[in-house]
DNA sequence: TCAAGTATGTACCTTTTGGTAAGTACCCTT
DNA sequence: AAGGGTACTTACCAAAAGGTACATACTTGA
């Protein structure tokens, strides 16, 4: 069991590709909220506390161009647009879950380490 | 099944903690090589093609202070130091695997998207 | 008509991250 | 004594990421 991955090749390229897609200060948050269902721009902005319009739009555009998120413009007279996860995006979110789990399980250790880093500099 | 995660709280904090730990241009590569076993500094440097000493050391120090990696100084007369994953680090690497798998499965889509981004700017 | 709300765009600046290049200190081989 | 290897450290600089603030264009309600 532990032997299998001592030689595993399924790591770097795949991981790099994935990290390329999810790195960005607000992307995890955005994915988190979109995971709950399609969300209008304004609603999203209120959910993701602290983002500026520039950042929100920028990250959404990147996620969109990566095929993770879908923008829907309803073409209605008072502007109405929403964003949702594509099936591709949903599969990404599923793959992210173990990482979330790990982070949660070890939240304290990590926080402690972060503290140590801050003070030791 | 699909309903469970529509309200799941196990996401943001855990994910943020994890991303804090693995983000850094060379960290995934380093983790990849250390996953194969303890590695001496110089060996690691030759493996992680393109890193400078400054970066390698910096990222190793951060991983170490986060408890992911362990530095062993053998105190020998011609300098001899190696780095290895702690059990904590090994658990992280395991949690990262689905992400790697996802990236691999969709490498082409991602690459295509990256291409599109480059050209559309 | 004025304020507020919708969803963006853009200019400019700061912070963070990473890169280059050099130095240190110690040792071994030629 | 010169050159190469070990494992770092440091100063300085460039690029990328992110932040602030204001602008746009259109609509609705007061």
The nearest alpha carbon in chain B to A113 belongs to B66
For residue A107, the distance in angstroms to the closest alpha carbon of chain B comes to: 6
Shortest CA distance to B116 belongs to which of A61, A65, A58? A65
Lookup result for tokens 């105190």: B75
Choose among A12, A17, A103: nearest Cβ to B110. Answer: A17
Query: How far is CA A98 from each of CA A71, B37, B103, rounded to the nearest angstrom?
Result: 27, 23, 15
Average per-residue pLDDT in chain A? Answer: 88
Query: Which pLDDT band holds residue B6 (cuts at 50, 70, 90)?
Result: very low
Q: Which domains does chain B have, with CATH numbers?
A: 12-119 (1.10.10.10)
Structure tokens at B71: 């530095």
Average per-residue pLDDT in chain B? Answer: 88
pLDDT in tens, B81-91: 999 999 999 99
The number of angstroms, rounded, from the C-alpha of B19 to the middle of its chain's C-alpha atoms is: 10
Give, as one character, the DSSP assignment of residue A68: S
- How far, in Å, is the CA of B25 from the C1' of nucleotide D15? 14
Rounded CA Rg of chain A: 18
Choose among B15, B22, B95: nearest Cβ to A28. Answer: B15
Query: Which pLDDT band holds residue B119 (cuts at 50, 70, 90)?
Result: low
Say what the pLDDT of residue B109 is: 85
Whether A7 shows a pLDDT value over 70: the answer reads no
pLDDT in tens, A66-83: 999 999 999 988 899 999
Whether B5 shows a pLDDT value over 50: the answer reads no
Return the percentage of chain A with pLDDT > 70, whole number: 88
Query: Which pLDDT band holds residue B118 (cuts at 50, 70, 90)?
Result: low
pLDDT in tens, B17-64: 899 999 999 999 999 999 999 999 999 999 999 999 999 999 999 999
- In A17-76, the residues whose Cβ lies within 8 Å of chain B are 17-23, 28-29, 32, 35-37, 62, 65-67
Q: CA B18, CA B88: separation in Å to the nearest integer?
A: 12
Q: CA B1, CA B4: separation in Å to the nearest integer?
A: 6
What is the average per-residue pLDDT within A99-113?
89
More confident residue, B46 or A120: B46
What is the number of other CB atoms lying within 10 angstroms of the CB of residue A68? 25
Shortest CA distance to B72 belongs to which of B40, B109, B112, B50? B40
């Amino acid at each position: 069991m532990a032997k299998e991955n001592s030689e595993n090749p399924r790591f770097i390229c795949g991981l790099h590709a994935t990290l390329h897609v999810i790195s960005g200060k607000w992307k995890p948050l955005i994915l988190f909220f979109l995971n709950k269902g399609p969300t209008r721009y304004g609603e999203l902005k209120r959910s993701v506390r602290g983002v500026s319009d520039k950042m929100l739009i920028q990250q959404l555009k990147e996620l969109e161009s990566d095929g993770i998120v879908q923008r829907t413009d309803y073409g209605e007279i008072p502007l109405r647009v929403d964003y949702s996860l594509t099936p591709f995006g949903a599969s990404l979110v599923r793959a992210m879950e173990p990482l979330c789990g790990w982070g949660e399980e070890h939240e304290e250790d990590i926080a402690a380490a972060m503290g140590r880093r801050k003070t030791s500099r």
